[in-house]
Amino acid sequence: MIRLHAVPGSRSFRVHWMLAELGIEPEIETYRIGDGSLGTEDFRAVNPAGRVPALEIDGMTLIESGAIVEYLCETRGAALWRAPGDAERADWLQWLHYAETVAVLVQNLNLQQVFLPDPSMRSPTVIGMEVRRLATVLKPLEARLGRQDYMLAGGFSGVDVMYGFAIEAAFHYVHRDRFPALQAYAARLADRPAYQAALSAQGPDTIYEKDFYEVPDG
Ligand SMILES: N[C@@H](CCC(=O)N[C@@H](CS)C(=O)NCC(=O)O)C(=O)O
């Protein structure tokens, strides 16, 4: 049994999509951020950190999306991995983990723009800073994807699976027109049958109510 604990539209999509690339359909337990479902005793017994993804697999529970993608590549997806000794190994590790540099900034903006209970609690200063920082960390990706179709020159890999969530989420805060190569990349990823299968299995995004969140005045 492989069971994925997930929030539609969150980092759990990485794991869902990775499993779909491997032809694996997990059992899914669905939660929502902010409705208390991640704080129940039952879920804290699965992941005491109260976060998704959590993946029950091979008699253990893994709770970090990048580690899960690496583990799945290592154990079940050699073609999507770059093993130690591979010429693309360092790039594989670097760009896989760089996805969290992007995701953390998106997460900070989600907190400010989506999850604060009262809009008066928002800090336009912090939001403005985080949007600028997000645009900056996207620049190396834009340059890379301007030269090649996927994050690694050798082709589609587990690294790209890490960006399926982060790029689309980032476009809620930075204008996609500023990043044409990333926009084309996101469309290329979304075209993959496994991406679409995971998307339809996870159900609609439960995080964003708007396509784009402007920096508030202040
Ligand atoms: N670095 C962790 C981050 C996990 C994480 O923060 N997940 C978010 C969803 S994208 C979450 O569960 N948030 C719950 C909350 O904010 O209460 C990973 O990549 O798995």
Predicted local confidence at residue 167, as pLDDT:
95
Query: How many Cβ atoms are within 10 Å of 88's Cβ, its own excluded?
Result: 18
Write down the pTM of the prediction: 0.96
Sign for the pseudo-dihedral over CA of 109, 158, 146, 143 = positive
* 7 CA: nearest ligand 1 atom: 9
Residue 108 CA to ligand 1 center (angstroms) comes to 11
Predicted local confidence at residue 206, as pLDDT:
83
Report the greatest alpha carbon distance in the chain.
52
Predicted local confidence at residue 121, as pLDDT:
94
User: Does the CB atom of residue 55 touch ligand 1 within 6 A?
Assistant: no
Count, residues in the chain: 218
CATH number for the domain whose boundaries are 89-192: 1.20.1050.10
Question: 3-80 belongs to which CATH class?
Answer: alpha beta
Predicted local confidence at residue 165, as pLDDT:
80
Contact residues for 191 (Cβ-Cβ < 8 A; gap 6+): none
Cβ atoms 11, 103 nearer than 8 A: yes
Per-residue pLDDT of 143-178, as tens digits, reads: 999 999 999 999 999 999 999 888 999 999 999 999
* 11 CA: nearest ligand 1 atom: 10
Residue 49 CA to ligand 1 center (angstroms) comes to 9
User: Does the CB atom of residue 96 touch ligand 1 within 6 A?
Assistant: no
Domain ranges of the chain: 3-80, 89-192
What single-letter DSSP state applies at residue 62? E
Cβ atoms 150, 181 nearer than 8 A: no
Residue 87 CA to ligand 1 center (angstroms) comes to 31
Going by alpha carbons, the residue nearest to atom 2 of ligand 1 is 64
Which segments of the chain have a pLDDT < 70? none
Predicted local confidence at residue 171, as pLDDT:
97
Taking the C-alpha atoms of 39, 40, 43 and 45 in order, what is their torsion angle to the nearest 10 degrees?
100
User: Does the CB atom of residue 14 touch ligand 1 within 6 A?
Assistant: no
Pocket-testing residue among 5, 11, 163, ligand 1, by greatest number of atoms within 8 A of Cβ: 11
Rounded Cα–Cα distance for residues 100 and 83 (Å): 21
